[in-house]
Amino acid sequence: MNTVHDQLGRKLSTVRISVTNRCNFRCHYCMPPDIKYHFCNKKSLMSFDEIIYLVKTLVNMGVHKLKLTGGEPLLRPNLAELIAKLQSIDGLADISLITNGYLLSKLASELYAAGLRRITISIDAIDDGLYRQMNGLNIPIDKVLAGIEAVKIAGFTEIKLNAVIQKGVNHQQILPLIRFTRSQGLTMRFIEFMDVGTQNNWDMSKVYSEEQILKDIAEEFEFAPHPANRGSDTAKRFEFKDGQGEFGIISSVSNPFCKRCDRLRVSAEGEFFTCLFATHGLKLLPTLREHPEEIEELIRSLWKARTDAYSEHRIQWIRKNPVKSRIEMFKIGG
Please tell me whether residue 257 adopts helix, strand or coil conformation. Answer: coil
Does 189 count as an annotated binding residue? Answer: no
Identify the CATH number of the domain in which residue 293 sits: 3.20.20.70
* Structure confidence at residue 326 (pLDDT): 61
Does 29 count as an annotated binding residue? Answer: yes
Three-class secondary structure assignment of the chain: CCCCECCCCCECCEEEEECCCCCCCCCCCCCCCCCCCCCCCHHHCCCHHHHHHHHHHHHCCCCCEEEEECCCHHHCCCHHHHHHHHHCCCCCCEEEEEECCCCHHHHHHHHHHCCCCEEEEECCCCCHHHHHHHHCCCCCHHHHHHHHHHHHHHCCCEEEEEEEEECCCCHHHHHHHHHHHHHHCCEEEEEECCCCCCCCCCCHHHECCHHHHHHHHHCCCCEEECCCCCCCCCCEEEEECCCCCEEEEECCCCCCCHHHCCEEEECCCCEEECCCCCCCCEECHHHHHHCHHHHHHHHHHHHHCCCCCHHHHHHHHHHHCCHHHCCCHHHHCC
Q: Which residues pair with 158 in a beta bridge?
A: 118
Does 258 count as an annotated binding residue? Answer: yes
Task: Specify if 7 maps to a domain.
Answer: no
* Structure confidence at residue 258 (pLDDT): 77
Task: Specify if 276 maps to a domain.
Answer: yes
Does 265 count as an annotated binding residue? Answer: yes
Task: Specify if 8 maps to a domain.
Answer: no
* Structure confidence at residue 218 (pLDDT): 98
Does 109 count as an annotated binding residue? Answer: no
Does 134 count as an annotated binding residue? Answer: no
* Structure confidence at residue 137 (pLDDT): 94
Does 27 count as an annotated binding residue? Answer: yes
Does 23 count as an annotated binding residue? Answer: yes
Task: Specify if 326 maps to a domain.
Answer: yes
Task: Specify if 157 maps to a domain.
Answer: yes
pLDDT in tens, 5-59: 999 999 999 999 999 989 999 888 777 666 676 677 778 899 999 999 999 999 9
* Structure confidence at residue 320 (pLDDT): 61
Does 204 count as an annotated binding residue? Answer: no
Does 102 count as an annotated binding residue? Answer: no
What's the CA gap between 118 and 125, in Å, rounded? 21
- pLDDT beneath 50, residues of the chain: none
Does 40 count as an annotated binding residue? Answer: no
* Structure confidence at residue 232 (pLDDT): 57
Q: Which domain holds residue 177?
A: 14-332
* Structure confidence at residue 333 (pLDDT): 64
Task: Specify if 303 maps to a domain.
Answer: yes
Does 30 count as an annotated binding residue? Answer: yes
Does 261 count as an annotated binding residue? Answer: yes
* Structure confidence at residue 159 (pLDDT): 98
Task: Specify if 255 maps to a domain.
Answer: yes
Q: Count structural domains, the chain.
A: 1
Task: Specify if 319 maps to a domain.
Answer: yes
